[in-house]
A and B are shown apart, each in its own frame.
Chain A
């Protein structure tokens, strides 16, 4: 599913070169639930950006779903993000002026899916996160946990190959955080591939595999 071979991301800081990622190798199989854990500044976000095709590696090779992601144009990267990856962010990143249903429909609009199909998918996705009765609510009318569930539904709607979550419980209290993690477990049981990036060991320990990142290097950790 995901294969990184000798991937580096280098930032130029004045005269010096800073390796945010240093020759990283990683292999994630289909249907795995993996957590990537590390303190801030460890290269976590860079990792997420590269896996999520928001950024490109400077060195090495990245295969997503068997496709090498390199020398891709903006347009092709957008297409990959749209169809293969379902993002879930720490601060939900919903559009405040759109209703829950409209937010969930957003990736489908960019897929140019027909209106009838869109409606069907949106209803299904919100059903999965038990928010069907809140379809017409704006994000500001929903609690944090509900907003994150809408965000998960948005990721779900495009039926991605990979769910990529960046500190999904970071902005929530622990009880709501557990509810969100339950949804991830549910998704995992249904055979989805999930990568969670976090600094919270408690969250990281819930995954099948735990990978530690420090100073741009990866190491597999036994749970």
Chain B
């Protein structure tokens, strides 16, 4: 019986292709927007969180908002490493400049920092060494390049000992970092790391430390590390808690995740409304179809179809319309996501399985919910009245 109804639905849908397609369009648009939007949001925030969690769950970020006449120096930050719960601490001062090596000039991102930074950010050298305490004490012109910068400037990543000119000063390349495994949004930049003291000397606007990073000894020590750095800063800035901000990795992750959730819910809600509108379209056409096929219903009833028989036939037709629309929508989403991936290869968007399941389930519910009324109307027709209809 069900199989027969599916066959009948198939015939009915194919016998009026344009109308069936237009009916499904609402569902197609709804499903496509749902799957594409949720997959894109999911993919984008995945690549950001991937980048964050790579550097560990023990990271604490500190920003100085007001120095109250007692600014921090890089030596102060390094002193923090002596605390028991803190394994590394490093300032980060950022500036941009032009670098030249072997005749080639590129724009480069410069980070002035201390040796602890490489441990905190989990940066490892492929060739040479990272920065040393002596580099800071003597404000040497030593630089650690990331893999891309070394290749662009010097043509090889085996560039330790070579020279590059950054901002008019000649630096000796102390080391080159390993190629980044993260293929997210920050993988393609060119970066150079120099001693904080050297940066202070060459950049006019950087004199003290405004941002620095810490890693706790372990995840369990996070709370202690946070308390210790907060206490230290409070003492320094006369108990003014608004003078600085201490943020940890999990807070940033939580913030990201809640933003992502809200965004997905919002987009999902909009797509859900589109699906609902699609359902109304199905109901509309099913009602027209029931009236048009009054005679058919009469014949079927005269020949022996009962309420359930006609009900099943029309309900399955509505369900088939919405599920077919859903399938087309999913295929279309797949196409769109592949196209986006082709244009933006650094992201790797993929369809989220849960969304596909949710979209299918939602379409099925809509097909049944909006199919019930027309199907009931059809099944309740009296055979004599229906046969007289022409």
| A110 x B307 contact (CB < 8 A) | no
Contacting residues of chain A (78-130) with chain B, CB-CB under 8 angstroms: 78-79, 81-83, 87, 89, 93-95, 97-98, 106-107, 109-112
Is A133 part of the contact surface with B, judged by Cβ < 8 Å?
no
Interchain CA distance A97-B12 in the complex, whole Å: 9
Chain B residues 279-327 with CB under 8 Å of chain A are 295-296, 298-309
Contacts A49-B384, A97-B11, A110-B309; is A54 near B304 (CB within 8 Å)?
A: no
Q: Which residues of A contact B (CB under 8 A)?
A: 49, 52, 54-55, 74-75, 78-79, 81-83, 87, 89, 93-95, 97-98, 106-107, 109-112, 154, 158
Q: How far is the CB of A75 from chain B (nearest CB, A)?
A: 5
Docked CA distance A63–B155 (Å) = 102
- Whole-angstrom CA separation of A83 from B303 in the bound complex: 9
Q: Whole-angstrom distance between the alpha carbons of A54 and B15 in the complex?
A: 30
Main secondary structure of the interface of B (DSSP, over half): helix
Q: Are B302 and A52 in contact (CB under 8 A)?
A: yes
Q: Complex Cα distance A85/B15, Å?
A: 31
Taking a contact as CB atoms closer than 8 A, the residue among A82, A83, A106, A112 that contacts B1 in the complex is: A112
B residues in contact with A74, CB < 8 Å? 306-307
A54 to B11, CA, bound (A): 28
- Of the candidates A79, A95, A111, the one whose C-beta lies within 8 Å of that of B299 is A95
B246: CB under 8 A from chain A? no
Contact at B303–A81, with CB atoms within 8 Å? Answer: yes
Closest to B379 in A: A74
Contact for A75 among B1, B4, B299, B307, CB less than 8 A: B307
Q: CB-CB < 8 A to B295: which residues of A?
A: 93
Cα distance A97–B295 in the bound complex, in angstroms: 13
User: Which residues on B sit within 8 Å (CB–CB) of A79?
Assistant: 304, 306
**CB contact between B303 and one of A49, A75, A82, A97 (< 8 Å): that residue:** A82
- List 3 A-B pairs, minimum CB-CB distance, nearest first: A82-B304, A78-B306, A110-B304
Determine whether the beta carbon of B305 is less than 8 Å from that of A110.
Answer: yes
Chain B residues, CB < 8 A from A107: 303-304
Q: A54-B384, A74-B306 are in contact. List 19 more A-B contacts (CB 8 A).
A: A54-B387, A74-B307, A78-B309, A79-B306, A81-B303, A81-B304, A82-B303, A82-B304, A87-B303, A93-B302, A94-B299, A95-B300, A107-B303, A107-B304, A109-B4, A110-B300, A110-B306, A110-B309, A112-B1
A109-B1, A109-B4, A110-B309 are contacts. A93–B304 as well, Cβ < 8 Å?
no
Complex partner residue of A106 from B11, B300, B384, CB under 8 angstroms:
B300
Shortest beta-carbon distance, A148 to chain B, in Å? 14
Chain A residues whose CB sits within 8 angstroms of the CB of B12 once the complex forms: 97
Return 16 A-B CB contacts under 8 Å, by A number: A52-B302, A54-B302, A55-B384, A74-B306, A74-B307, A75-B308, A78-B301, A78-B305, A81-B302, A81-B383, A93-B299, A93-B302, A95-B300, A106-B303, A109-B1, A154-B303
A46 to B, closest residue via Cβ: B384
Contact yes or no, A93 B306, CB < 8 A:
no
CB-defined contacts of B384 to chain A, threshold 8 Å? 49, 54-55
Chain B's closest residue to A92 (CB) is B299
Taking the closest CB of chain B, its distance from the CB of A64, in whole angstroms, is: 14
Chain B residues with Cβ below 8 Å from A52 are 302
